[in-house]
A and B are shown apart, each in its own frame.
Chain A
Amino acid sequence: MDTCKNVLSLSPANNQSDAYDWIIVGGGLVGASIAYGLIQKQPHLRILVLDGSDMDHRASVGNFGLIWVQGKGHNFPAYANWSLQGADLWPQFAHQLSHQSQMDLAYQRLGGLEFALNQRQLNVLSEEMAAMAHHTHGAFKYSVLDREAALALQPGLGPSVVGAVYSPQDGQVNPLSLLSALHKAMQLCGVAYQACRKVDKIEVSAQGFNAAGFIAKKIVLCAGLDNQRLGKQLGMHLPVMPIKGQLLITERTAENTLTYACPQLRQTAEGTIQIGGSHEHTGLDDSCSLEVMHAMAQEAVALLPSLADLKLVRSWGALRVMSPDGAPIYQQSPSYSGAFGVCCHSGVSLAAAHAGPLSNWLLNSLDAKQKILIEAMNNDRFPV
């Protein structure tokens, strides 16, 4: 049902017939970070972000809020280095974005913990950490904690917790504030934004790329799961599939229960506690299921028994945009040099990297070493 027929453009943009320099397809964390990054580097650029409708699938709104390094790229050196670089760019990025948007992102970099409920889990995690350290030539720091050491960092752990891995380089942020701040800042800097403009077909002509009636010489696909379909139209193979993640969110609690970033449990700046961790293959169904909610609650209470009395206020399900090996895809179209595709499931963790070096890559203004790193994450690694 096309319910957005009459949405008017209310951002400081021109009317439909003018051409843009860049069209970004997708207004989620990836699209907004890139639009923001591009306009910081070249303020005179005319950039248009085309966003979907209110009820479209959006991975950005199911994000846990972690700026996570540990484990990301444990079997992919370029990704490991990229993740670490991204996390290191975050403090400066947060400061600048916060200032421009006048919004508090609740950004923190106090380190991250992942808990293990049995020894096998702990062993797997330790191996992943070791691999990360190896790929980054020791730049990635971590410790493997036994139960006692884990308790010292996180009191109140349940009896079945055997230990955890810790990295000081992990952090957290409010992902919805991040998206809101990016939208606000990019529009303040002159980026045009149009919601309810789902792109069905991209036409290529001498004038450039025509998407939803708008034309630009350069186009970046940041449409999440829809990138696969749109990529084909521009000669790009962008293999992504949906992996559902469910979240549980509790009421606010005044107590400071959790300090560190953690993919299993996270306390937000508002005081609510988020519980995450499901990975399900359910196609495009992002509904919440009894079985998974039950399992997540069980794990949460096993990790931290004091959570048992907290009321669950809402749940969420979102579809991660997952490539075959879980690492991002950064692709320039072999058929059209002005067309790019960007796919990842870590829109928060990589927001600073996307606003920074990745935007430079799109503008073709970075050093060779950085270029090689980014291009190691193109689709050559996938069989067609």
Chain B
Amino acid sequence: MTDSLFRHGLEDAPQCVLIVNGVEHQVPMQSSVAAALHYLGYLATRAHPVSGEPRAPFCHMGVCFECLVSIDGQPQQRACLTQVMPNMSIDQVGVGTY
């Protein structure tokens, strides 16, 4: 996780807690999980199952399947199609799974 390449465009946007890899963060509430991850500085969402290299969301509309993360214990969810909910828990998967 590094300095984010993104910033939020609205002032005073309501925020909520998002738990990423076990760590609590504050993110804008009206956001997809993928956008929230980018906001926090996570560019890559997962490791590619064949190459092991990091991959990041490409389309943000559900057709590229690069944004797969575990959401509230459910594996392989598309982060770009899921809205952030308070206290949602996101876990990034490592090498070997899809």
Contacts and interface: CB of A to CB of B under 8 A. Distances in A.
Do A's and B's CB atoms come within 8 Å in the complex? yes
Interface of A: 251-254, 271, 309, 311, 313
B97 A252 contact: yes
A253 B93 CA distance: 12
B75 A309 contact: yes
A286 B97 CA distance: 30
Contacts of B74: 309
Contacts, number: 20
Interface residues of B, number: 8
Interface of B: prevailing SS: loop
B2 to A, nearest CB: 27
A4 to B, nearest CB: 29
B49 A311 contact: no
Contacts of A254: 95-97
Interface string B46-58: 0001000000000
A252 B96 CA distance: 8
Contacts of A309: 74-75
Contacts of B75: 309, 311
B76 A251 contact: yes
A237 to B, nearest CB: 48
Nearest to B75: A309
Contacts of A313: 98
Contacts of A252: 49, 96-98
Given A252-B97, A311-B76, A313-B98, 5 more contacts: A254-B95, A271-B49, A271-B96, A309-B74, A311-B98
Nearest to B77: A311
Nearest to A254: B96
A336 B98 CA distance: 54
16 contacts: A251-B76, A252-B49, A252-B96, A252-B97, A252-B98, A253-B97, A253-B98, A254-B95, A254-B96, A271-B49, A271-B96, A309-B74, A309-B75, A311-B75, A311-B98, A313-B98
A254 B52 CA distance: 12
Interface in B10-46: none
